[in-house]
Amino acid sequence: MVNKKFALMLVFLVLSTSGTALTISPGKTELDYVPGKEYKIVFDVANRDGKPMDLVVNLSGDLANYANLSETRFFIDADGSHVVTAKLVMPTLDVPGEHSLGVRFAEVPTKKYGQTMITATVAIVARVITKIPYPYVYAEAKLETQKIKVGEIEYLRVELTSYGVNTIEQAGGYVDIIDKDGVEVARVPLTSARNILTKQKVNLLGEWDSTGSNAGIYKAIATVEYDGKNVTAAAAFQVGDILLNIIDLAPRTVPKDAISKLTAKVKSSWNDVIVGKVGLTIKDSTGKVVANLVSPTVEVKPWATADLEVYWDTTGLGIGSYDVEVVAYYNDKESRANFTASVTEAKEGEVKQVEVKDYFILVGLVLLLVILVLMVILALLIYRKRTKGG
């Protein structure tokens, strides 16, 4: 049997994360594969935080047994930096492909006894890699894209690197542009390249004209064919800017000494869901702020409009016009619009026109009233019965 007594216990949760920031340079290093050669990699560790940081360093990966560190724990002052050196003697490796050494710099959390908190700490794994050529033709591809405006050209660059012993005689391919719904909107041909030597990098280029396309996030998938094989690479890119337009505020006339619902209508110009809310700052004719109102957060579907509601209490405000600044907050961005609203004399029956959102409260009040009336009737009946009986 469940002991429900425990259910009344209070659980207090403050999940507190102090901001924390760490930078390691280099974050990724490529070494030539030369067995027996000693490499020295110097890591510059920067604490970009306003507080001191205690750090531990350790190694991982299949090259970890052939490496050592100049130190494994150190302290950095606020906004300070430190240098750690890793030495690696390249072993003889038989397996073709990528071999790596991971150098993990991890912040040691500061214990704060007696405080209710979740502390966020950061760690960065800097990678040192070497690649042993495959005993046949083999290539890896990397696709680069950039953010463009609607109507501009998206320049696509595929960096193809030969990691095979044999020379690649010919390489070429295409890039598929795919929209948010997974629909292919274009296939862009790439330039070709010939006679690619071991470890040589070549660029295969393509262009996509975004004229007529909607703003939003697109995916590009490059397929490169070389000497009977193929390799793919993917990247996402943004066309235009994410935008939530504020298109209306209604009503613009509200009664004095009442609580009125104001609805800000917003429209998405984006191909994905936007999560956002609006804030209203209402000022009187002298510029004095008389109300700051915030709506609940809502999800606005792609290209759709949505109504965001706030409630304005005009009790004590004078009759006249007020400046309303509406700010939409979404995805780390803001958009603004200004309106004028009027407070007018309340018509009969309009005063304290409270729009109760929770109808259960209304139902409860009505039920309470009915019960009270019934009790009064019952009391009267009992009284009359006793009076008659007497």
Partner 1 sequence: MVSDKILAKLVVIVIIISAISVVTTLFDIDRLGSMMNVIMTVMGYDYTTTTTVCSAGITVTDDSIDFGSGYVWANATSAILDSSNSGVTNGSWKGVEDRITIENTGTCVMKVTVAMDSADAEAFLCGTGDCPNTATAKVEVEIDMVVGVACTSGLQNTYTTLADANGKNTVTLCGEMSYGSGNDQMLMSMRLTIPYDARTGSKSETLTFTGTAV
Tell which positions 137-156 bind partner 1, by CB under 8 A: 147
Of the candidates 230, 253, 331, 338, which one interacts with partner 1 according to CB under 8 A?
Answer: 331
Q: Which is nearer to partner 1, 282 or 300 (CB)?
A: 300
Structure tokens at 94: 């038989």
Structure tokens at 15: 């999940």
| CA distance from start to end of the chain | 55
Task: Measure Cα distances from 172 to 196, 227, 248 in Å.
Answer: 12, 10, 51
Of the candidates 68, 253, 285, 297, which one interacts with partner 1 according to CB under 8 A?
Answer: 297
Measured from the CB of residue 235, what is the shortest distance to partner 1 in angstroms?
A: 6
Structure tokens at 249: 């505020």
CA distance 76 to 56: 11
Q: Answer for the pair 121, 187: CB distance below 8 angstroms, yes or no.
A: no
Measured from the CB of residue 151, what is the shortest distance to partner 1 in angstroms?
A: 19
Measured from the CB of residue 282, what is the shortest distance to partner 1 in angstroms?
A: 23
In DSSP notation, 191-219 reads --EEEEPTT-EEEEEEEEE-TTPPSEEEE
Closest by alpha carbon to 64, among 126, 135, 152?
Answer: 126
Distance of CA 22 to the CA centre of its chain: 20
**Collapsing DSSP states into helix, strand and coil, what is residue 319?**
coil
Q: How many residues bind partner 1 (CB under 8 A)?
A: 75
Of the candidates 116, 230, 315, 340, which one interacts with partner 1 according to CB under 8 A?
Answer: 116
**Collapsing DSSP states into helix, strand and coil, what is residue 66?**
helix
Q: What is the 3-state secondary structure (H, E, C) of 135-170?
A: CCCCEEEEEECCCECCCCEEEEEEEEEECECCCEEE
Q: Which is nearer to partner 1, 76 or 343 (CB)?
A: 76
Structure tokens at 85: 């050196």
Measured from the CB of residue 202, what is the shortest distance to partner 1 in angstroms?
A: 17
Measured from the CB of residue 364, what is the shortest distance to partner 1 in angstroms?
A: 19
Q: Which is nearer to partner 1, 126 or 202 (CB)?
A: 126
Residues with Cβ < 8 Å from 305, sequence gap 6 or more?
Answer: 247, 265, 266, 267, 268
User: Is residue 275 within the footprint of partner 1 (CB under 8 A)?
Assistant: yes
Of the candidates 56, 64, 125, 150, which one interacts with partner 1 according to CB under 8 A?
Answer: 125
Q: Which residues pair with 275 in a beta bridge?
A: 299
Q: Which is nearer to partner 1, 71 or 184 (CB)?
A: 71
User: Is residue 194 within the footprint of partner 1 (CB under 8 A)?
Assistant: no
User: Is residue 342 within the footprint of partner 1 (CB under 8 A)?
Assistant: no
Measured from the CB of residue 128, what is the shortest distance to partner 1 in angstroms?
A: 8
Q: Answer for the pair 131, 200: CB distance below 8 angstroms, yes or no.
A: no
- Taking CB under 8 A as the binding criterion, the range among 51-59, 117-125, 186-194, 207-215 that sits at the site for partner 1 is 117-125
Tell which positions 202-261 bind partner 1, by CB under 8 A: 217, 234-238, 242
Measured from the CB of residue 248, what is the shortest distance to partner 1 in angstroms?
A: 25
Measured from the CB of residue 110, what is the shortest distance to partner 1 in angstroms?
A: 9
Residues with Cβ < 8 Å from 303, sequence gap 6 or more?
Answer: 214, 267, 268, 269, 270, 271
Measured from the CB of residue 22, what is the shortest distance to partner 1 in angstroms?
A: 6
CA distance 258 to 313: 6
Q: Which is nearer to partner 1, 218 or 339 (CB)?
A: 218
User: Is residue 360 within the footprint of partner 1 (CB under 8 A)?
Assistant: no
Q: Which is nearer to partner 1, 238 or 344 (CB)?
A: 238
CA distance 168 to 162: 7
**At residue 298, what is the residue type?**
V
Binding mask 25-64 for partner 1 (x = CB under 8 A): xxxxxxxx-x--x-xxxx-x-x-x----------------
- Taking CB under 8 A as the binding criterion, the range among 91-99, 106-114, 317-325, 368-376 that sits at the site for partner 1 is 106-114
Of the candidates 181, 332, 345, 348, which one interacts with partner 1 according to CB under 8 A?
Answer: 332
Measured from the CB of residue 7, what is the shortest distance to partner 1 in angstroms?
A: 4
User: Is residue 82 within the footprint of partner 1 (CB under 8 A)?
Assistant: yes
Q: Which is nearer to partner 1, 84 or 224 (CB)?
A: 84
CA distance 280 to 262: 10
